[in-house]
Structure 1
Amino acid sequence: MTNPLQTPHSEYHWDGSDIRFFEGWYYRVTLPDCGQTFAFMYSIDDPIGGKACSGGAAQILGPNDEYLCRTFPNVKQFWGSSESLALGHWGKTDLATQPQYLHPAKFEHHIQEGYQATATLNQGYICDGRVSVAVPKEQANRLRHHATSAYCHWQYEIQPLYGWGDSGIPQQSTAGWLSYLPIFEPGWQILMAHGLATGWIEWNGKRYEFTDAPAYSEKNWGHAFPKKWFWLNCNSFNDEPDLALTAGGGKRKVLWWQESAALVGIHYRGKFYEFVPWNSKVSWQIQPWGSWQMQAENADYEVELIGTTDQTGTLLRAPTEQGLIFFCRDTMHGQLSLELRERRSGKSKIILKASSSVCGLEIGGGPWQDSWISSAKFPWVVYL
């Protein structure tokens, strides 16, 4: 692996079979100075081609939770590395070569629409398709900035700081060693819990330039799809630059049945605090929208999370058995409070209290008519 912080399962997982399959990647950068976030979601469905769901897409959740999506029907224009985190999808281009990673300057010159992403780069251009960007190549990069339809143009480099685990040791799988077996569907892996992004994003004519902005990435993949899930994520906290949180849970397929599982992962000052069903009890109370609460405890630590929002959120597409459809709701403007405590001699001592107003909050699947109140702990592993 080219990056020592690269986590397991960072590579592209498709094995070439014609069994229903999807893979999705999520890159995010938060701009604390203006309180805005850009989330880039890339996906490929049934890459063998010729099936009802075959195709790729790039979705972006931009400033003020605005939304942009572009589909790429030609799966032959998608590429992904089977050895490391690297992928891309070409749309409009004057190149006749096989899709592959390009030097950023060459990508900028030849790819009029599409994207490419690695552990250290995220780059691309998409528009909503209402106007053509198929102008002469020597003018494309200049003229497309003035398109009258919604568009996004971006290029930034990433310096990874935390993968998924303590600093200075090999990084671990989000779902533990069992994730290497064909047990869980879909798979979920945090690619980079925290990093620093430097570059620019142009959104509908407004250019955002940034240096060392908090960045994050994750992915999921598989042959089955979650029925219901929730998610909290933040690595831009007030007065705590060296802190990253990822938490979530869902109902997923385990062999031939469905089960509920959840986790909380915190990276703070070089140490990884992991709360997962095989080492902790994890509980949650999630409203259909507006409130996310989680608690987790193990022999040494306990954590409490409270996420709230008065935003309406934005509907996003997610891979399903029926293809990529609107199936989840997100906001990047959630309020979050986090409290981490150390347990000693039957007493708990607060070691961290932090808050943020740019937390990512999500619910997906369903049904969500009522609150979801549940918990997961060690016996969950025994039955595997």
Structure 2
Amino acid sequence: MIFLRDPSAYHGEKNKRPFFEGWYHKLVTGDGQSLAIIPGIYRSGFNNNQTAFIMIFDGDKGDVFYERFEVQQFSCSTSSYSLHIGSNYFSSEKIILDIESETLTIKGQVTADNLKPWPVTLFEPGCMGWYAYVPTMECFHGILSMDHSLDGEIEFNGSNYDFVGGRGYIEKDWGHNFPENWIWAQSNHFSTNDLSITASLATIPWKNTSFAGFIVGLYYKSNFYRFTTYRNAVTKEIHYDSNKFYWQLKQKDLMLDLTIEKGHKAGLLYAPDKIDMVPRVHEYLDGNIYLKLYDHKGTILEDQTTSAAVEMIGDVGKLINMAR
């Protein structure tokens, strides 16, 4: 019997190693200030090291703060996303922050409303499709909300972030390790209202080889368009230089053109390594995305943004060649 599990819930209750799980919240104020807040847990497979953590990325300044907690301070539901780390709380609908350390003082509460999660069904349990049922996958991925409204405020190292009228996005990763190489981009800040996109291309180990797997979701005016490996979408054209990535995808009669470009101010995020979480992921919150969705009848949607989260990690050239 196949057991359908909420991707947002905690998956590490069996204390397996190596293991990591992190929930990524992107919060943007009404005037464009951006924060990424990532709570999670890590267990090394090479030593006894284990830690809970909360990571804060200030997209405007490029500063990253990584706060460690004892694993005994970590408590998360295995049936839904309801996470406590010390006096901090996280769910899809609410964040409560209360941290005061030598380098970081952050306090406040933000709520989310009208969430738009990637649909979860028995045959397609979230954004990974049937791959979610393969226990040997290196890294699992979940998209908890493509877009939602925000309310509340956060006091962060002397600055006030007012999220009344802001927008948010939530995703997560869990498993043994991050992919070797990947490109990822996301934004829900376009000139067109009610528009959000998330796009990822990564090296996926598979038995004794590997392949370039991809997940692209586009939410537009209550319609959800999916271009994914498991839905047999096809890469028609793909190019990359050190800063810019062009990708053309085909899903049945639909075509999607994407141009993704790095921003100007990167933060160095922590990611799981063999013995600890280490700073190794350059992320931008001021990246660029141009997109065009069309079919044989003409253009359905065309827009662009300069407020995108963007990562291009590892040997991207090798990844692009694999995807061709």
TM-score normalized by the length of structure 1 = 0.76
Task: Tell me which stretches of 4 or more aligned residues in structure 1 moved more than 6 Å.
Answer: none
C-alpha contact (below 8 Å) 1:336/1:355 kept by paired residues: yes
Pick one of 309, 312, 321 that aligns with 1:363: 312
Pick one of 277, 288, 300 that aligns with 1:351: 300
Distance 1:17 1:201, change over 3 A: closer
C-alpha contact (below 8 Å) 1:229/1:251 kept by paired residues: yes
Pick one of 235, 253, 278 that aligns with 2:205: 253
Give unmatched runs, 5+ long, in structure 2.
none
Letter of the 2:150 partner, please give it: A
Query: Aligned partners of 2:74, 2:104: CA distance in 1, in Å?
Result: 23
Please give the per-residue CA displacement for 1:116-173, whole angstroms capped at 9, x wherever unaligned.
Answer: 111210111334x32xxxxxxxxxxxxxxxxxx443223111113311149xxx9841
Q: Which has the higher strand share?
A: 2
Please give the per-residue CA displacement for 1:18-64, whole angstroms capped at 9, x wherever unaligned.
Answer: 4211111101111242x22111112201299x944300211111141
Distance 1:376 1:65, change over 3 A: same
Letter of the 1:81 partner, please give it: S
Pick one of 305, 308, 313 that aligns with 2:261: 308
- Give the equivalent residue in structure 2 for 1:101: none
C-alpha contact (below 8 Å) 2:128/2:215 kept by paired residues: no
Which one has the largest radius of gyration?
Answer: 1
Written as runs of structure 1 = structure 2, the 5 A alignment for 1:96-115 is 111=87, 115=88
1:23 aligns with 2:15: no
Distance 1:306 1:217, change over 3 A: same
Pick one of 191, 197, 219 that aligns with 1:267: 219
For residue 261 of structure 1, report the CA deviation from its aligned partner. 0.9
Distance 1:245 1:325, change over 3 A: same
Query: Aligned partners of 2:234, 2:262: CA distance in 1, in Å?
Result: 26
- Give the equivalent residue in structure 2 for 1:192: 145
Distance 1:287 1:154, change over 3 A: farther
Deviates more, 1:253-262 or 1:206-215: 253-262
- Give the equivalent residue in structure 2 for 1:209: 162
Work out the percentage of aligned pairs sharing the same amino acid. Answer: 25
Deviates more, 1:12-21 or 1:295-304: 12-21
- Give the equivalent residue in structure 2 for 1:8: 6
1:120 aligns with 2:93: yes
Letter of the 2:149 partner, please give it: L
Distance 1:18 1:210, change over 3 A: closer
TM-score normalized by the length of structure 2 = 0.89
* Matched residue SS, 1:236: coil
Query: Aligned partners of 1:234, 1:338: CA distance in 2, in Å?
Result: 11
For residue 294 of structure 1, report the CA deviation from its aligned partner. 2.0
Query: Aligned partners of 2:269, 2:29: CA distance in 1, in Å?
Result: 21
Query: Aligned partners of 1:15, 1:334: CA distance in 2, in Å?
Result: 36
Letter of the 1:195 partner, please give it: H
Please give the per-residue CA displacement for 1:267-287, whole angstroms capped at 9, x wherever unaligned.
Answer: 111111000123211354343
* Matched residue SS, 1:177: helix
Please give the per-residue CA displacement for 1:305-360, whole angstroms capped at 9, x wherever unaligned.
Answer: 112245142211111223211121111111221111123xxxx5111011111111
